Structure 1
Amino acid sequence: MLPTHGRHGYHPWRGRPQWTWPGGARLAVYLGVNLEHFAFGEGLGAELAPGANSGGGLQPDVLNHAWRDYGNRVGAWRLIEALDELSLPCTVLLNSAMYDHAPELVAAHRARGDEIAGHGRTNSERQSVLAEAEERALITESTAAIARHEGAAPRGWLSPWIAESRVTPDLLAEAGYRYTLNWCSDDQPVWHATRAGRILAVPYPQEVNDIPSIVARKDGAAQFAEMIVDDFDERLRQVRVGVPQVMGIALHPYIVGQPYRMRALRRALGHVAAHRDTVWITTAGGVYDHAAALPSGRLPE
Structure 2
Amino acid sequence: MDVPLGFGPNIGQVVCRLKKALYGLKQSPRAWFGRFTKVMLKLGYKQSQGDQTLFVKHSPLGGVTTLLVYVDDIIVTGDDLEGMENLKKCLVKEFEVKELGKLKYFLGIEVAHSREGIFISQQKYIVDLLTETGKLGCKPTKTPIEVNHRLGNALEDAIVDKRSYQRLVGKLIYLSHTRPDIAYAVGVVSQFMHNPKESHLRAVYQILQYLKGTPGKGILFKKGENLTLEAYTDADYAGSMVDRRSTSGYCTFLGGNLVTWRSKKQNVVARSIAEVEFRAMALGVCELLWLKIILEDLKIKWEGPMKLYCDNKSAINIAHNPVQHD
Using the size of structure 1 for normalisation, the TM-score is: 0.23
Which protein has the larger Cα radius of gyration, Structure 1 or Structure 2?
2
Structure richer in strand, relative to its length: 2
Structure richer in helix, relative to its length: 1
Using the size of structure 2 for normalisation, the TM-score is: 0.22
Structure with the bigger RCO (C-alpha within 8 Å, sep 6+) is 1
